[in-house]
Amino acid sequence: MAERAVTLTIPDHIYEQAQKLAETSGKPIEMILLHELENAFLPPLPEAEEAELDALQHLSDEALWTIAREKMPRSQQDRMQHLMDKNNLSELSGAEQAELESLVEQGQRLMLRKGKAAALLTERGHIITTRAISD
């Protein structure tokens, strides 16, 4: 993928927010701004999912930590892996294909919730580490 350099003047409030995120995450401000810009061009989520993610901002830090640490149940992880293995061998039935798609969708929604919770915690001054969210 080709990259292009662009000079962009941004308002102070955006720079300050990006700088704060850069400091708390230990990442360069350019990486923070690029990440936010990439996210701006993602296709919109369905309305119900967007509302669910927006509602997270009203939760307590404790509730957000719980969401950030949430995991798909082991039985679902195992089933999804089994179906993925069968899919790689082109051995899935129609029902299994639908089940795999459902499990993948559930996993994606979980990751969105976890990511949004982690982002909100970071905005609130918490430091998010792999260890912190795997407790």
Nearest to 18 by CA among 38, 36, 4: 36
pLDDT-derived band at 1 (thresholds 50, 70, 90) equals low
Assess if residue 120 is contained within a domain. no
Q: What is the pLDDT of residues 37-83, one digit of tens each?
A: 888 887 888 899 999 999 999 999 999 999 999 999 999 999 999 99
Q: Give the total number of structural domains in the chain.
A: 1
Q: Is 57 inside a domain boundary?
A: no
Range of the domain at 17: 11-38
Is 31 contained in some domain? yes
Number of Cβ within a 10 Å radius of residue 80 = 18
Q: What is the pTM of this model?
A: 0.66
The verdict on residue 18 lying in a domain is yes
**pLDDT value at residue 133:** 86
- Residue 37 and residue 18: Cα distance in Å, rounded? 11
Distances (CA, A) of 122 to 17, 65, 126: 11, 11, 5
Give me the percent of the chain exceeding a pLDDT of 70: 99
- H helix or E strand, kind and range, residue 53: helix 47-55
Provide the mean pLDDT of the chain: 91
Compute how many other C-beta atoms are within 10 angstroms of the C-beta atom of residue 116. Answer: 19
33: phi > 0 → left, psi -120 to 50 → alpha, else beta; which? alpha
The Cα angle at residue 113 between residues 108 and 118, in degrees rounded to 5? 125
